[in-house]
């Protein structure tokens, strides 16, 4: 029990993933929800890297995939912030439950 | 590969055009010319691939793209649909907001995503393709910035879309853990009888992630709100060409990689298909707004396209091509008519046949195609995907269920026809229907019927 | 270059007519539109005639491939036409009678502003029907099948200003779609088990020996029959047909006589090779036909709308045809289709002529004595009645007798019920005739003044059809009279009846005698009872017959009252509450479900994601615990 194994990493990643999902489901503030999404993506990044390191150490595929995810997540976040700002201008709020003009 | 590069360049050109010029109609004309050019390049590529029979499909980007003849052919068809879309709705796109050039740029970038999805052979390309396709859509959905509904649509789409991206990535990560590779060919090595639970979870996550993008139930909840709230011209694009592109990605992955694992995932897809068909059709019955009805109908149509996914055979590939084109053409036409009207409810269509007989006639043809009445493209499309499922042979119950649901769909499509022909009223138009509009709609109509008569034309792989 | 190779011209002509009239319906003058519509159908008729003679002399059946339609792996479905004795027979009926109806319409619809549009629809209708009959595989047939449904929707709702008419159109379309569903499922089953949809391959496989298990044959046959039930208006999908009266009268004639409703008969006759292997399905067909024939006949007795009576009589006659099909006597059914096409077209066009003269009035209680003013209509209508009632010498007699003979051989119960149906047919047809054409006029003074014989364009088709109604039956004489049954011999190359033993001659004479006696007696009763109509109650029916009181009372107590009661009851319970209720109920259920499912869409993103997560969990649970 003196070495950190694959399973330990996976536990962390799994916990992060579900914390992210939980936050996404329960929070009403859009910025917090955005953070929850980042948590989910980061848990996946951890997955990729530990799989790469522990199971397939001869290539760096997983690592590169992670870099792509980080890049694209940044792009997504940029768009998200733009949308949230626009929403704030229109609704004067960033509470997700206020946005329900369309239903049924 | 030429088309991918060309579409990227076109996107950049349009962005700069947006900075340099404020002339809206000039930008629309430029976009039309450039999309013609793009279509031409696609045809050139098809021509090349036909001449290069017998040679292995060229691989690009370190074997991450494999542009086989199917990918090239499908890209060409989608470019054709996009061209038709811009010809029909270009002027309407210019009315959405100030930054006309940027809308076209985003559309060009989405086309890049579609080309990537048509020919990827590596999960990285799948991921990048999906993102290139999704992020511009978030922006397009919210492009009418002053409109609350548009902003809300954009927000909803973004939140749920990024969540589903997370799910998709989780699936890719698990498959990577199980196989150590991102190459879709290598997934074939997975054990058929005793499938690694990690791999199975990966497959399920992929089904859910991709199912979200094609709005399969229960991941469909975003669809009605997003399609309803987005500016109508962009709804037309998002619900047709984009969806078709994702479907091909779905099909490619599940046929090429998991084709021998059908006993593990087919029933799940079948359950999803049944739910999608049920929810899409049943809910569409009760809508008041035609635009929202079309959103639900796009869920229902996705249910039919899912048949191609679960029947792993050659007919499914033909089916998805025909379905993608027939559905896209008819729906784009339908939206082109809808956008002319002031009132999007069924009542807004009352008496349209009296006022604009040609418009009403074209609408009838589009709706008949969507409902799957013979001699229209929609019938052939449904026929092919169901045929694939019948040949596959394990899901006869689902085929019969789908037929019943197709019968239900007639109800809500024909409600529009009844409103146009059999009800009195003054259908109010936004503006005059010009001769150009009628010509383009007529050509669209002819295409719908042509596909219904000779679906073989679309299958010249 | 043989005639048969020109078969593509047959549907092409009406299509051209449709395109011309359909595109230019606002600019083309009415007379030109009518001319285009009629001439294109006449041209088709001429080509059909040429092909008919060729098929008759060679007896060959051939498949003409126009172009490749669907190619997918091993499956190859060409867009091909089947030319053989069966399809040619139907071609002649469709184009021949269709042409007469077109000619009639040129005059009937002259007042209508949408006349050219009407002709466009009519041509499209003929085109679809021709496609249905000519197709060499089930897919082409299905395309025509759907096309016919669509056109009927357009034509029934032609006068769309009236809300009821629109509803009738919708009902027709939806009922047909339910039937189509059965057809589609049957088609898919064939595809699944035999890997083909072409008649040639399918029947070839059937004949060469069982490739599927026999219970499958029954299921396929029943699925196809459900399609036929919708199109040919059998219980429980028949209610659209009487409602379909909403369209212009020539349309009713076209739908009832020559085209749409015969599609179901055609399909089953075409699939005779399949049905011969599916005895249970055949029994089902026979009983459905029998029950339909009876119920429709009882309802017809009580109707006062001239077109409604004819409509229910069509349903009833179709029931007879299905009885024949159920006995495996396919050629007999085709024979009845043909004679029925003659006399039913005649009756409908005759009623159109009456309605035309009455200025749109359809209630027979307000008619009477029209014969004096409209000699041609009266005589031709009488011929039609004689034919449908089965009076010897007229066409209906031969075909109906053949049906009854077939049922007598196979199923005595159905025979007895069929005889009962034939009896009622004679009764209500002569009730209709008597109330309309004899006696004194009961309408308003204005209407009486307006009465006139219809123009030549309307009476000419009546005369032609009357001649056909008389002599049409002579191509299928019963065995005791003539050794050769012309029609059966002709059809034998494409349809295979279930073999049966030759009937003894005296039995056959006896059957002929029974049906003749019933037809004659009940025709006379029908005339006698309604000579002096009294619509309040059945009293005062004196001075009608020699021993009038005896007949009146007997008739009243034994036949009229029970029949009236039965008719009322069926009309009220079976039709209004039962069948309509079920159909509307399903519609309501769908709407209710839609209303509930709709509420899931709350507009809250949080809830959407929650549903998605729940969905994901369920899918995972399914996949790990259920599928493994």
Q: Looking only at Cα atoms, what is the longest distance across chain C?
A: 88
Question: Which regions of chain B are under pLDDT 50?
Answer: none
State the pairing for strand pair C75-83/C62-72.
Answer: antiparallel
Q: Do C612 and B160 touch (CB under 8 A)?
A: yes
At residue C545, the pLDDT reads 32
B34-49 b/e (C-beta count within 10 Å ≥ 16 → b): bbeebbebbeebbeeb
C68 touches chain B (CB under 8 A): yes
Spatial CB neighbours of B215, under 8 Å, sequence gap ≥ 6: B222, B223, B243, B276, B298, B299, B302
CA distance C577 to C573: 5
Closest-CA distance of chain A to residue B414, Å: 21
What is the rounded average pLDDT of the residues C517-529?
A: 80
CA distance C273 to C283: 16
Inform me whether the pLDDT recorded for C577 exceeds 60: no
Spatial CB neighbours of C373, under 8 Å, sequence gap ≥ 6: C357, C451, C452, C453
Inform me whether the pLDDT recorded for C543 exceeds 60: no
At residue C549, the pLDDT reads 36
Domain edges within chain A: 6-98
Q: Do A25 and C606 touch (CB under 8 A)?
A: yes
C212 touches chain B (CB under 8 A): no
Domain A6-98, CATH class in plain words: mainly alpha
For residue B196, give Cα distances in angstroms to B177, B201, C403.
10, 9, 67
Inform me whether the pLDDT recorded for C602 exceeds 90: no
What is the rounded average pLDDT of the residues C89-117?
A: 84
Q: Do C609 and A25 touch (CB under 8 A)?
A: yes
Inform me whether the pLDDT recorded for C503 exceeds 80: no
Q: Do C600 and B393 touch (CB under 8 A)?
A: no
Inform me whether the pLDDT recorded for C220 exceeds 80: yes
CA distance B104 to B12: 10
User: What SS3 state is found at C198?
Assistant: strand
Q: Quickly tell me which residue has 């067909």 as its tokens.
A: C285
At residue B320, the pLDDT reads 93
At residue C519, the pLDDT reads 81
CA distance C275 to C408: 20
Q: Is C328 left (phi over 0), alpha (psi -120 to 50) or beta?
A: left
Give contacts of A101 with chain C, Cβ < 8 Å.
603
**Are A42 and A15 within 8 A, CB to CB?**
no
Domain edges within chain B: 2-459
Q: Do A87 and B155 touch (CB under 8 A)?
A: yes
CA distance B96 to B143: 7
List chains touching A (3+ CB pairs under 8 A). B, C
Highest mean predicted confidence (pLDDT) among B97-111, C510-524, C576-590: B97-111
Inform me whether the pLDDT recorded for C584 exceeds 70: no
C150 touches chain B (CB under 8 A): yes
Q: Give C564's pLDDT tier (boundaries 50, 70, 90).
A: low
Give contacts of B167 with chain C, Cβ < 8 Å.
616
Highest mean predicted confidence (pLDDT) among B291-300, C66-75, C111-120: B291-300
CA distance B131 to B60: 19
Work out the percent of chain C whose per-residue pLDDT is above 90.
0
B219 secondary structure, DSSP code: S
**Are B127 and B169 within 8 A, CB to CB?**
yes
Mutate to test the interface with C, among B216, B229, B283 (most CBs of C within 10 A): B283
Q: What are the DSSP calls for A27-74, one per residue?
A: --BHHHHHHHHHHHHHHHHHHHHHIIIII-TT--HHHHHHHHHHHHHH
Inform me whether the pLDDT recorded for C1 exceeds 60: no
Q: Comparing C-alpha atoms, which of C296, C352, C311, C267 is closest to residue C82? A: C267
At residue C160, the pLDDT reads 63
**Are C262 and C93 within 8 A, CB to CB?**
yes
pLDDT tens per residue, range C10-44: 888 888 888 888 777 777 787 888 888 888 989 99
Q: Do B411 and C143 touch (CB under 8 A)?
A: no
**Helix segments in C271-374, DSSP class H:** 272-276, 279-302, 306-326, 330-357
What stretch of H or E contains C80? Answer: strand C75-83
Give the dihedral sign, CA B170/B171/B176/B179. positive
At residue A1, the pLDDT reads 54
B87-117 b/e (C-beta count within 10 Å ≥ 16 → b): bbbbbbbbbbbebbbbbbbbbbbbbbbbbbb
pLDDT tens per residue, range A81-103: 999 999 888 888 888 777 777 77
CA distance B74 to B461: 9
Q: What are the DSSP calls for C138-164, one per residue?
A: HHHHHHHHHHHHHHHHHHHTSSTTSHH
Three-state secondary structure readout of B231-297: CHHHHHHHHHHHHHHHHHHHHHHHHHCCHHHHHHHHHHHHHHHHHHHHHHHHHHHCCCEHHHHHHHH
Identify the residue with better confidence: A42 or C198. A42
Q: Is C196 left (phi over 0), alpha (psi -120 to 50) or beta?
A: beta
Identify the residue with better confidence: C583 or C602. C602
Q: Quickly tell me which residue has 């007042």 as its tokens.
A: C111
Spatial CB neighbours of A18, under 8 Å, sequence gap ≥ 6: none
Among C73, C170, C184, beta carbon nearest to B403? C184
Inform me whether the pLDDT recorded for C546 exceeds 50: no
**Percentages (nearest 5) of helix, strand, coil residues in chain B:** 80, 0, 20
**Tokens standing for residue C231:** 């199109």
Mean pLDDT of chain C: 79
Q: Give C579's pLDDT tier (boundaries 50, 70, 90).
A: low
ipTM: 0.94
Beta bridge partners of C198: C137
Chain A residue with CA closest to C599: the answer is A104
Q: Do C602 and A100 touch (CB under 8 A)?
A: yes
State the pairing for strand pair B59-60/C75-83.
Answer: unpaired
Give contacts of C606 with chain A, Cβ < 8 Å.
25-26, 28, 96-97
CA distance B136 to B156: 14
Among A97, A102, A104, beta carbon nearest to C606? A97
Phi, psi of B122 (to 5 degrees): -145, 145
What is the rounded average pLDDT of the residues C202-208?
A: 81
Q: How many residues does chain C have?
A: 628
CA distance B450 to C505: 59
For residue B26, give Cα distances in angstroms to B118, B224, C499.
32, 33, 78
Inform me whether the pLDDT recorded for C541 exceeds 50: no
Q: Comparing C-alpha atoms, which of B385, B269, B267, B259 is closest to residue B317? A: B385
Residues of A with a Cβ under 8 Å from any C Cβ are 21, 24-26, 28, 96-97, 99-104
At residue C488, the pLDDT reads 77
Phi, psi of C65 (to 5 degrees): -90, 125
Phi, psi of C363 (to 5 degrees): -85, 120
Chain C residue with CA closest to A96: the answer is C605
pLDDT tens per residue, range C408-456: 888 888 888 888 888 888 888 888 888 888 777 777 777 777 777 778 7
Q: Give A27's pLDDT tier (boundaries 50, 70, 90).
A: confident
């Amino acid at each position: 029990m003196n070495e950190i194994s694959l399973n330990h990493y996976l536990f962390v990643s799994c916990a992060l993933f579900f914390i992210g999902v939980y936050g996404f489901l329960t929070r009403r503030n859009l910025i917090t929800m955005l953070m929850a999404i980042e948590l989910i993506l980061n848990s996946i990044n951890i997955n990729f890297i530990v799989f790469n390191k522990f199971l397939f150490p001869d290539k760096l595929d997983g690592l590169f995939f992670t870099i792509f995810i980080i890049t694209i997540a940044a792009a997504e976040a940029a768009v998200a912030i733009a949308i949230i700002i626009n929403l704030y201008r229109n609704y004067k709020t960033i509470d997700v439950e206020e946005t329900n003009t369309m239903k049924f | 590969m030429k088309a991918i590069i060309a579409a990227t360049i076109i996107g950049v050109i349009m962005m700069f055009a947006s900075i340099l010029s404020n002339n809206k109609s000039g930008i629309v004309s430029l976009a039309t010319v450039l999309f013609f050019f793009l279509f031409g390049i696609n045809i050139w590529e098809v021509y090349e691939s036909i001449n290069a029979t017998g040679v292995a499909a060229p691989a690009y980007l370190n074997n991450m793209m494999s542009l086989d003849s199917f990918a090239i052919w499908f890209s060409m068809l989608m470019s054709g649909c996009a061209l038709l879309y811009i010809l029909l709705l270009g002027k309407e796109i210019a009315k959405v907001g100030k930054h006309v050039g940027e809308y076209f740029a985003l559309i060009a970038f989405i086309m890049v995503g579609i080309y990537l999805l048509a020919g990827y052979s590596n999960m990285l390309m799948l991921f990048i393709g999906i993102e290139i396709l999704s992020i511009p859509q978030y922006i397009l959905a919210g492009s009418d910035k002053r409109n609350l509904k548009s902003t809300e649509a954009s927000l909803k789409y973004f939140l749920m879309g990024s969540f589903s991206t997370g799910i998709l990535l989780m699936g890719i990560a698990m498959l990577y853990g199980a196989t150590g590779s991102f190459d879709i060919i290598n997934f074939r090595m997975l054990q058929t009888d005793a499938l690694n639970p990690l791999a199975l979870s990966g497959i399920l996550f992929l089904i859910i992630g991709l199912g979200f993008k094609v709005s399969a139930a229960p991941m469909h909840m975003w669809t009605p709100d997003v399609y309803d709230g987005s500016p109508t011209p962009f709804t037309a694009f998002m619900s047709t060409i984009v969806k078709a592109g994702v479907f091909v990605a779905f099909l490619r992955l599940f046929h090429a990689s998991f084709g021998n694992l059908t006993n593990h995932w087919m029933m799940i897809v079948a359950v999803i298909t049944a739910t999608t068909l049920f929810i899409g059709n049943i809910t569409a019955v009760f809508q008041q707004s035609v635009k929202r009805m079309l959103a639900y109908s796009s869920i229902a149509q996705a249910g039919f396209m899912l048949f191609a996914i679960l029947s792993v055979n050659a007919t499914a590939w033909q089916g998805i091509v025909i379905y993608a084109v027939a559905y896209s053409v008819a729906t784009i036409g339908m939206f082109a008519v809808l956008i002319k009207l002031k009132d999007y409810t069924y009542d807004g269509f009352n008496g349209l046949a009296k006022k604009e007989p040609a418009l009403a006639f074209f609408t009838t043809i589009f709706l008949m195609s969507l409902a799957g009445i013979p001699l229209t493209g929609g019938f052939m499309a449904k026929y092919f995907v169901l045929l694939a499922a019948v040949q596959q042979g394990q899901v006869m119950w689902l085929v019969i269920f789908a037929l019943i649901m197709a019968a239900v769909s007639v109800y809500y499509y024909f409600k529009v026809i009844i409103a146009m022909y059999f009800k009195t009223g003054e259908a109010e138009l936004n503006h005059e229907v010009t001769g150009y509009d009628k010509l383009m709609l007529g050509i669209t109509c002819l295409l719908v019927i042509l596909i219904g008569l000779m679906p073989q034309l679309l299958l010249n792989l | 270059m043989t005639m048969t190779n020109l078969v593509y011209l047959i549907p092409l002509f009406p299509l051209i007519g449709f395109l011309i009239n359909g595109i230019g319906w606002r600019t083309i003058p009415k007379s030109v539109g009518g001319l285009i519509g009629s001439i294109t159908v006449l041209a088709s008729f001429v080509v059909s005639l040429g092909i008919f003679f060729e098929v008759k002399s060679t007896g060959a059946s051939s498949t003409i491939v126009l172009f490749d339609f669907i190619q997918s792996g091993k499956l190859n479905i060409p867009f091909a036409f089947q030319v053989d004795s069966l399809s040619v027979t139907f071609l002649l009926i469709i184009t021949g009678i269709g042409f007469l109806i077109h000619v009639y319409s040129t005059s009937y619809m002259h007042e209508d502003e949408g006349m050219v549009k009407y002709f466009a629809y009519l041509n499209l209708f003929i085109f679809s029907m021709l496609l249905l009959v000519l197709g060499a595989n089930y897919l082409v047939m299905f395309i025509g099948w759907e096309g016919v449904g669509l056109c009927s929707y357009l034509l029934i709702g032609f006068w769309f200003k009236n809300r009821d008419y629109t509803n009738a159109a919708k009902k027709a379309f939806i009922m047909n779609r339910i039937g189509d569903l059965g057809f589609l499922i049957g088609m898919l089953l064939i595809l699944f088990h035999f890997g083909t949809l072409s008649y040639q391959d399918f029947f070839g496989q059937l004949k060469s020996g069982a490739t599927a298990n026999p219970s499958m044959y029954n299921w396929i046959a029943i699925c196809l029959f459900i399609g036929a039930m919708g199109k040919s208006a059998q219980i429980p999908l028949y209610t659209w047909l009487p409602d379909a009266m909403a369209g212009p009268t020539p349309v009713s004639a076209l739908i009832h006589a020559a085209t749409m409703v015969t599609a179901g008969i055609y399909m089953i006759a075409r699939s005779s090779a399949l049905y011969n292997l599916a005895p249970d399905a055949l029994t089902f067909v026979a009983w459905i036909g029998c029950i339909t024939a009876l119920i429709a006949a009882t309802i017809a007795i009580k109707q006062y709308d001239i077109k409604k009576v004819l409509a229910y009589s069509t349903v009833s006659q179709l029931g007879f045809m299905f009885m024949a099909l159920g006995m495996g006597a396919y050629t007999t059914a085709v024979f009845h289709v043909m004679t029925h096409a003659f006399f039913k077209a005649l009756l409908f066009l005759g009623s159109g002529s009456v309605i035309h003269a009455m200025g749109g009035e359809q209630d027979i209680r307000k008619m009477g004595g029209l014969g004096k003013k409209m000699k041609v209509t009266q005589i031709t209508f009488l011929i039609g009645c004689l034919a449908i009632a089965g009076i010897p010498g007229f066409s209906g007699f031969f075909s109906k007798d053949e049906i009854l003979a077939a049922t007598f051989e196979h199923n005595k119960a159905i025979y007895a019920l069929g005889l009962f149906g034939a009896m009622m047919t004679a009764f209500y047809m002569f009730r209709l005739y008597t109330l309309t054409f004899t006696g004194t006029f009961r309408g308003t003074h204005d209407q009486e003044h307006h009465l006139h014989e219809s123009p030549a364009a309307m009476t000419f088709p009546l005369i032609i059809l009357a001649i056909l109604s008389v002599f049409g039956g002579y191509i299928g004489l019963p065995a005791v009279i003539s050794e050769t049954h012309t029609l059966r011999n002709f059809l034998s190359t494409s349809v295979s009846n279930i073999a049966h033993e030759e009937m003894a001659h005296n039995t056959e004479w006896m059957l002929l005698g029974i049906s003749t006696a019933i037809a004659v007696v009940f025709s006379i009763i029908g005339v006698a009872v309604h000579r002096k109509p009294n619509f309040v109650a059945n009293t005062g029916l004196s001075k009608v017959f020699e021993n009038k009181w005896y007949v009146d009372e007997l008739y009243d107590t034994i036949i009229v009252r029970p029949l009236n009661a039965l008719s009322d009851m069926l009309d009220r319970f079976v039709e209004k509450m039962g069948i309509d209720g079920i159909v509307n109920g399903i519609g309501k259920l769908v709407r209710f479900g839609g209303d509930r499912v709709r509420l899931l869409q709350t507009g809250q993103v949080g809830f959407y994601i929650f549903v998605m997560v729940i969905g994901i969990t369920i899918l995972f649970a399914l996949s790990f615990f259920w599928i493994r």
